[in-house]
Amino acid sequence: MPSQSKLAIFGDSNLGAVRRAFDGGLLSFPGYDVEFWGAAGSEYRNIHYGKGALRPITPEAEKAVLFVNGKGRERLRTKDFNVFVFYGVRLRLAEFFAAYIDLMLDHERSVSEAALASAAKQFLQERRAVRMAQLMKADGAEEIVFVFAGFPCWGVIDHSEEGRLLADHPRVLEAQPSHRARLWAALERAFEDLGLGFIGQPEETVVQGMFSDPVYAVEGAAEKEDANHKLPSFAALLLKKRFE
């Protein structure tokens, strides 16, 4: 029997949806020996890369990653896995989409493909997870795939309140599939230029310009005012694009 490739799924609090999808049979990874590794909240920020591994830099973060992993793996070493998935990892793509959809909806301005390519490249370089992934690639990581954990869910909170998405970018509700397609394409090229894979959000899950369909909101989302986390079915839909 051929040996299995080793797959590490690394992430922030969104990683829980992947774990639940896997444990619940909604998602499988044929041919892979799978491990989960990461942390939620402030402890995610206390994971850094150095000496060939992602590693917690505080005792609290170490406790968190050991709990998530469940196999005693304190560090996620580049050489120990064939494929790494970076799930969620605070890409904050809603910020990128909102800003450039606003520009594309302004009929007095024109946004070229070259401008989008430059913007996507700059945006990714500002993401800490992307910089860590580049260091891992330089240290010999075979394959790293980023997976966007999705736009905020529509209808869970009032997105027009001060400090929220529609307060600053009300016109994103007018975004069409063509606008989103241009931005996804720019991001895919930017990731590819860095030697990284990328899975964006399926078009059938997007509503109201650039929000996620509320059917994917977690249980009790409205009560918790949690528009960001998604059900396991959402995570399964994304990862099946690459692994099933």
The Cα 57–Cα 49 span in angstroms is 10
The Cα 152–Cα 144 span in angstroms is 24
Whether the full predicted model's pTM is greater than 0.85, yes or no, is: yes
Average pLDDT over residues 81-106: 96
Q: How confident is the model at residue 244 (pLDDT cuts 50, 70, 90)?
A: confident
Return mean pLDDT, the chain: 96
Average pLDDT over residues 54-81: 98
pLDDT digits 0-9 by tens, 103-121: 999 988 889 999 999 999 9
- Whether pLDDT at 2 is above 70: no
Average pLDDT over residues 80-98: 97
Average pLDDT over residues 192-198: 98
Sheet arrangement for strand 5-11: 32-38, 5-11, 83-87, 143-147, 197-199
> Are the C-beta atoms of residues 117 and 190 closer than 8 Å to each other?
yes
Average pLDDT over residues 40-68: 97
The CB-based long-range contact list for 68-76 (8 Å cut-off, 24+ gap) reads 68/15, 68/19, 68/36, 68/37, 68/38, 68/39, 69/35, 69/36, 69/37, 70/36, 71/35, 73/35, 73/37, 76/8, 76/10, 76/37
> Are the C-beta atoms of residues 90 and 127 closer than 8 Å to each other?
yes
Q: How confident is the model at residue 1 (pLDDT cuts 50, 70, 90)?
A: very low
Instruction: Please give the biggest Cα pair distance in the chain.
Output: 62
**Structure letter (DSSP) for residue 126:** T
Q: What is the pLDDT of residue 110?
A: 87
The Cα 83–Cα 24 span in angstroms is 22
For residue 134, the one-letter residue type is: Q
Measure CA 14 to chain center. 8
Q: What is the pLDDT of residue 107?
A: 84
The Cα 130–Cα 217 span in angstroms is 26
pLDDT digits 0-9 by tens, 117-162: 999 999 999 999 999 999 999 999 999 999 999 999 999 999 999 9
Of 46-50, 84-88, 108-112, 219-223, give the lowest mean pLDDT range: 108-112
Average pLDDT over residues 93-103: 95
- End-to-end Cα distance, the chain: 20
**Structure letter (DSSP) for residue 232:** H
Q: What is the pLDDT of residue 158?
A: 96
